[in-house]
Structure 1
Amino acid sequence: MTTRDERNLLIIENLPLVGYLASETHARATHVSREELVSAGALALVTAADAFDPELGVPFGAYARRRILGAFADEMRSMDWAPRGVRTRIKETTRVRDTLTAALGRTASTAEIATAMGVAPDEVSAALADASRSVTTIDEAYDADLASLTPLPEESAIIAERRHVLQHAIQALPERMRAIVHAVYIEERPVKDVAEELGVSHSAVSQQRAEAIRLLRDALEQYYRDGQDAPTTSRVSAAVRERFFAHLAEAGGSRVARALAPTVAVT
């Protein structure tokens, strides 16, 4: 088990993960308060740090992620007013709607959905009205991965865009941070093994990982700032941050470069 100081360090270093996952979830389920998700996720992070056993060889980031997403699911279920039968009807109707929408390239009409389902249009209208009031359509077999929910076409575009920015942002990280992020979050290797391979301490890897997450968050905040001043969470020097954004702008293409201006000069 971790010591008290190690437990507190795990919580502090991974708080950005709570915010990131809460934003991702809120983007898919805008009817759920982001603040409530953050609150539930922060509590899950604390309990994850309390229960974490590094001897099991599982990276804390991966372990905490599942606990946080599970807490999101519990929070959403606790707010769900709909009984199982209603949720089933909602799920069937929205699935047909999304399938038709993807096939037609536009939002399917109530009449089109009703025809595809072989039911009366008023039944479709009622199901869609219930869907707009339903907090969640997560079923009892929820596997702690909200990414399994099928997004609408426009949501897919947003997710693809965010993934595009994030992938290039990872590549733009300073070399040591990039290697740590890849090892811990993509290869899911234990921090202890990564530290041994790099010849540094466990805490050094954790600090670099946390700073990398903050830089990635800065990149997303800057990209989606929509003309507003974006908050800065990273603690690196101004020179390191400027080089990071410059590399991201160069690798991400003109659209990313424009979104990052005036952080970087666009030619």
Structure 2
Amino acid sequence: MAVSEENRLIAQHAPLVRRLALQLLARLPASVELDDLIQAGMMGLLDAIRRYQFSADAQFETYAIMRIRGAMLDELRSQDWLPRSVRAKAKSIEQAIQRLTHRLLRPAHEHEIAEELGMSLEDYQLLQDDARGVQILHYEDLARGDENKPDPLGHLISGDDNGSDTPLGKLMSQALRKAVISAIDALPEREKLVLSLHFEQDLNQKEIASVLGVTEGRVSQLKSQAVLRIRAALTDKAWDVHPGAADLQMIL
């Protein structure tokens, strides 16, 4: 591709990079700098421009968004932006959910998770607020079901990264995709509804709160809990230590 065309595409999609960075920043600690995300995103955009195979049937922006987000997440991981205390809190909830799921053979209710953690329901909900940072790892990419939109899990079987172009890699990615979908399907209806309203109906947190008749804070708690349930389900299937864990980080 000519340098002039490359520069034109960079200028055209620079606002997209900034928009994605701002969306991400809204759910990150204050210590994360917008300029760092934008710089990483611009590198992702350049990578997308150089890798993309232009055709009449393919949408460049869709491909670019995946690359831009991936570059931003790589930058966040390199900074280890999530405090160790937050990781520990999220892990404690995941482990409690795992134990209860094995014991009850159904999704645990909030009060049961709180009891398993030895705390009141109110304290457990506060703990969810503290652990909400786990939502940021491409939580958007759990959306699915609209045939007019590309499957956000499709990159797991696209064969472009992490060794997934090998037969073993493709099998691993397909298995992971099925595990994620199974974990989503197993969510309690209320949490599944929150995901559907947000990612399929494109409602914001305030609108979801109005639909459900709850506070915006409660919507955030439900989203956090849904993510932690999904993580617990995948960890239970050993995806946290699987060689394909890098793919998992692009989903959750």
- Normalising by the residue count of structure 2, what TM-score does the alignment of the two structures yield? 0.40
Q: Which has the larger radius of gyration?
A: 1
- Normalising by the residue count of structure 1, what TM-score does the alignment of the two structures yield? 0.39
